[in-house]
Structure 1
């Protein structure tokens, strides 16, 4: 029984150390080997504990919490494939920067590679994807408490982005024992227990410097690209670009208000590309651009220099331009590089963008479907709420056809751009903020994360999930996939409806057949305490064909 008691003391110190570094949310899956960690988290007054029976969804729930809080979030799972199921969310966090702390319980070394139940090789399980990894030893009172706490402190101080994997072997027994045992081991940390600071404080010496030649660059012709940045940064960047007189091409995740909307349409026009060729400097803020035409232009543009500003490490420029890769937060960089009020040099782009937007409005006025949903999505947004967007076709349609409000919070998983865990991530975003939340995903994405509808039963504010059911992965209709094999091997239509799923998880449900019914269903959703699943049943290829039509129409005008 002494082993079980010391396991819990070890785990309690580990969780206390994480709390000192801003962890407030802990996501827990059921399991026996993780009992010391689970009980330590449950007993800690500073934590809000979330539970889910599906570890893959649990990891994405934590991802959503981390996105919205911008704080580290901890995840506790048992040993074996439970740990493996966290892999997709860990990969996504590594690409988009959310800080996750994965605590994977493990069998002790003597039970590995000998046929023991639920024992796999967990050291190095996630290969190069974690930002940091710690393989803890089997808990032992021979190891000083100060070693454990300083090990955690050092790792958390260096966790500026991505995931920290802490592998935690625990020997049996896991339950019972005299709780007063090994009190001296914990007490060796003295009055640290009464403080709120880490045992070891490491400081990051990273500083952002002003580019000394910025005063000369800001007098030239420039173009601003906005990828995935925060809502506050989006508003600040839009004002900065407007003062400079530089055109700003904003991604759907930029939250800039997209002052030149429908870029995926008007970039198809030769006159737009010819005008943009005059840019001497292109400055990109944030990564993960969505639009196909924007990505094509970004790859082919040849300014004198190309600057990319993002707080994440790495090049983040798949076109490998000559220029500067500046690691800094967008807001911090903008403060150091003030704009100079100049007359816009590419005013004709605003006319082209408005024409594209008006053309889309006219074409979609009486065409109910996913393209119309994308174009008119701002009409459905809840006041003081937030938006979560899925991947594949729907996010491309919204990027190409909508103009979202400046500063309105938009979340998505556009790092690895997978369809796994999207509903779980949206649930995490909602729980973190307690705001009304609109989420939009495709039918295959919803099927892939159907378990996560259980998480939506515990929303703290009205939540509306729109499932665009175009019967398969219609993103492949935009790609030159072989026509004969497209349905069977790419789109994979499932011929399902989601009314039974909503009933199974006790969610409100609607299946509107026109825009008026959709608006009414969404409006009713904002008056429900809980979640509403709205299924939009649309012709399979209509959205992809509509986008192709609008792009081609712009290309010849």
Structure 2
């Protein structure tokens, strides 16, 4: 029994250390080997505990919370394959910069590789997808509490982005014992227990520096590319570009208001391409562009310099332009590089963009479906709420055909652009922000993460989850997949609807047949509250074919 008590002491020091580095939320899956971590998380008044029965969904729930709080979020799971289920979430965090702390309970070393139950090799299981890793020894009073807390302090101090894996072996017994035992071991930390600072302070923040030649560049012809960033940053970037008179190419995730709407259509236009080719400098804020034409233009543009500003490290430029990779907070960088008032140098782009927007509205006026909804998405957004964008075809339709308000919060998983964990990440985002949420995802994405409807059902504010059901992976209709094999091996039609899924998880359900019904169902949810699963059942190829045709037509504007 003394082993179980000391396990708790060890876990208490570990978790208290994490709180000194901003960990407030801890996501916990059921498990016996992780008992010490779970019970100490529950006992710590500084920690808010979240639970879910599925470790893959749990990791994405933590990811969603981290997106909003911009603070590290911890995850506790038991040993074995439970650990492996965290892989998709930590990969996404590594690509988009959220901080996750993965506390994986483990069997002690003597139970590894000998046939013991639920015992796998967990050290280095996540390979190079991690930012940091710590393999703790089995808890023993022979190791000082100061060693444990300073070891975790060092790892957390160096965690600027991505995931930290702390592997935690615990020997049995895991339950019972005299709770006052081994108090002297943790008491050696003295008044640290009453403070709020780390035992060991490490790491240094980057220093923001002003570009000495900015005064010269801001008088030249420039283009601003707005990629994934926060709502406040999106609004600031839009104002900065407008002051400079530089055209802004805004991604759906930029919260910039996309002042030149439908860019992923008209970037296929030769006139627009010729105008943009005159740019001497391109300044990109954020990473992870969505639209195909935007990505193609970004890859092919040849300005004298290409600057990319984001607080996330790494190159972030798949085209490897000549220029500057500036690691900085976007808001702070803008403040250090104020814009000088200039007239627009390419006003014709506004005319082209407005023509594209008017064309979209006219073509889709009477064509109910995913393309029409994407083009009118702004009308569905809740006041003072948030928008969650799914992956695959639907996010491309919204990017190409829609125009979201400047400064409206948009969240997504566009790092690895996977369809796994979209519902659970959206649930984490909503839980952290505690505002009404409109979420739009595809049918395959919803099926892939179906059990996370349990998390959606716990949303704390009115929530509308739109599932676009085009009976399979219709994004493959945009790709040159072999036509003879496309249906069976790519689209994979499933023939299901989501009415019974909504009932199973206690969600309200609607399946509108026209725009007025869709808008009315969404409005009712915002007014009356609750969680609504709105299934938009559409023909398999309509959205993809509509987008393809519009891209072709835009070239003639």
Q: TM-score, normalised by structure 2?
A: 0.99
Offset at 1:323?
0.8
Between the aligned partners of 1:105 and 1:237, the Cα distance in structure 2 is: 44
Q: What is the root-mean-square deviation of aligned Cα atoms in Å?
A: 0.7
Matches within 5 A, 1:2-17: 2-17=2-17
Alignment coverage as a number of residue pairs: 557
For 2:177 and 2:394, the matched residues in 1 are separated by 54
CA contact (8 A) 1:456 1:530 kept: no
Report the equivalent of 1:509.
Answer: 509
**1:529 Cα shift?**
4.0
Q: Which residue of 2 aligns with 1:204?
A: 204
1:115 match: 115
Distance 2:205 2:15 in 1: 26
Structure 2: segments with no counterpart, 5+ residues: none
Distance (whole Å) between structure 1 residues aligned to residue 85 and residue 501 of structure 2? 23
Partner of 2:373: 373
1:302 aligns with 2:302: yes
Deviations 1:230-249 (A, max 9, x none): 11111111111111110000
- 1: distance between equivalents of 2:81 and 2:203? 36
Pairwise CA distance, 1:528: 4.2
Contact 1:261 1:403 in 2 (8 A): yes
Counterpart CA distance in 1 for 2:519 and 2:403 is 18
Report 1:260-339 matches (<5 A).
Answer: 260-339=260-339
- Superposed counterparts of 1:373-522, under 5 Å: 373-522=373-522
Give SS of 2:454's match.
helix
Q: Distance in 2 between matches of 1:120 and 1:546?
A: 49
Q: Is the 8 A contact 1:222 1:283 kept in 2?
A: yes
Q: Distance in 2 between matches of 1:293 and 1:195?
A: 53
Please give the secondary structure, in 1, of the residue aligned with 2:457.
Answer: helix
**Counterpart for residue 87 of structure 1:** 87
Which residue does the alignment assign to 2:64? 64
SS at 1:549's partner residue? helix
Distance 1:342 1:314 in 2: 32
> 2:323, 2:196 → 1: CA distance?
44
Shift of 1:527: 3.4
Aligned to 1:148: 148
Q: Alignment partner of 1:533: what SS?
A: strand
Contact 1:458–1:530 (CA under 8 A) maintained in structure 2: no
1:40 equivalent in alignment to 2:40: yes
| 1:28-82 deviation line (CA, Å, top 9, x unaligned) | 0000000000001111111111111100000000000000111111100000000
Aligned to 1:215: 215
Return the alpha-carbon distance in structure 2 between the equivalents of residues 316 and 328 of structure 1: 13
Cα deviations by residue, 1:73-119 (Å, 9 ceiling, x for unpaired): 11000000000000000000000000111100000000000000000
Q: Which moved more, 1:326-335 or 1:396-405?
A: 326-335
Cα shift readout 1:130-179 (whole Å, capped 9, x = no counterpart): 11000011001010001111111111111111111100000000000000
1:542 and 1:130 map into 2 onto residues whose CA distance is: 40
CA drift at 1:12: 0.8
Tell me, what secondary structure is at the counterpart of 1:255?
A: coil
**For 1:527 and 1:157, how far apart are their aligned partners in 2?**
45
Distance 1:74 1:37 in 2: 11
SS at match of 1:406: coil
Instruction: Single out whichever of 457-466 and 198-207 deviates more from structure 2.
Output: 198-207
Unaligned runs of 5+ in 1: none
